[in-house]
Amino acid sequence: MTMPDPRTEIAELATLRDCLRYAVSAFRQANLHHGHGATNALDEAVFLILESLHLPVDDFNAFADARLTAREKAMLGERIAMRIEKRIPAAYITGRTYLHGFSFRSDRRAIIPRSFVADLLFSPLFDGSDGAGLIEDPAAVTSVLDLCTGGGSLAILAAHAFPNAEVHAVDLSAEALSLAAENVADYGLEDRITLHRGDLFAPVKGMRFDLILTNPPYVDQATIAIMPEEFRHEPAMALDGGPDGFDLVRRILREAGQHLDAEGGMLCEIGLDRAVLDAEFPDLAFTWLDTEESTGEVFWLTARDLR
């Protein structure tokens, strides 16, 4: 069935509420995939509309009955059409995304950030509010390494979570690092975050850290072959983890111990296949961590575990 053109239909609408209802219906009719900062049609439509209009993305109701100008409706119609026709995620259409309340530039130079590591950094396990946390005093963390930094979001979050830390962020992609540099500059963190281009630990050879963070490529090739079209807009190297998804994770596990201080630890996101690592590394005491939206997709290992 041919879908009506949002570019013309939106001209008949009046308010933001009208546009939201229309966008949700159109997204659902088009059977879009939602997995780049939003998990359903409603949330992605809210984000696309509010961000496009330079409005706070967490307060739709305050503007729901506001009327739109003809220019604004034309712009939204074009963006809704782009989302449907080209399957481009809203973050790439607007050039902006949010992670744990922080705003980041987002374009095709890097994967759209969506890491559960971000939620954990500001949880009682790491923020010092829980005496039994994995990090008791965030202020005592003085060095952090972010591997596979992409657009730099986790490095920037780490700089906020650990106010006394010097952060080093590594990626193999020069394009991703150029985006990361822009995000770092937006937050005025050039004096605390150093960006390195290279293969995993190679650019920080001989250095040790209190904390290593990493959300490496971990999608297996069979899954890559059938992923929804939305993922095709992201850099392939940011997703492809090899035949079973764990090529880089294995390398990180082999090398991380050489780059952790004696009391340090590593936080790593690996997706849904924890059983593979548990079976392959039976002597490693993985601590599997949950968030509100994930179960056992992130592990914690200490320096002692890795040596």
pLDDT tens profile 68-107: 999 999 999 999 999 999 999 999 999 999 999 999 999 9
pLDDT given at position 258: 96
Topology of the domain comprising 110-302: Rossmann fold (3.40.50)
pLDDT given at position 128: 84
pLDDT tens profile 231-249: 999 999 999 999 999 999 9
d(C-alpha 290, C-alpha 279), whole Å:
20
Q: How many CB atoms lie within 10 A of CB 125?
A: 18
H helix or E strand, kind and range, residue 171: strand 166-171
Worst-scoring range by mean pLDDT, 129-143, 229-243, 250-264? 129-143
Question: CA dihedral defined by 174, 177, 178, 184, rounded to 10 degrees?
Answer: -170
For residue 96, give the nearest of 40, 36, 16, 173 by alpha carbon. 36
Contacts of 63 (CB under 8 A, 6+ apart): 16, 50, 53, 55
Contact 205, 145 (CB under 8 A): no
Q: Is the pLDDT at 45 greater than 70, yes or no?
A: yes
Q: Is the pLDDT at 292 greater than 90, yes or no?
A: no
Domain map (residue ranges) of the chain? 6-94, 110-302
d(C-alpha 209, C-alpha 211), whole Å:
5
Contacts of 232 (CB under 8 A, 6+ apart): 87
6-94 is classed CATH 1.10.8: yes
Worst-scoring range by mean pLDDT, 145-149, 257-261, 270-274? 270-274
Task: Categorize the per-residue pLDDT at 131 as very low, low, confident or very high, splitting at 50, 70 and 90.
Answer: confident
Task: Categorize the per-residue pLDDT at 38 as very low, low, confident or very high, splitting at 50, 70 and 90.
Answer: very high
**Cα–Cα–Cα angle for 49, 53, 58, rounded to 5 degrees:** 60
Phi, psi of 280 (to 5 degrees): -80, -30
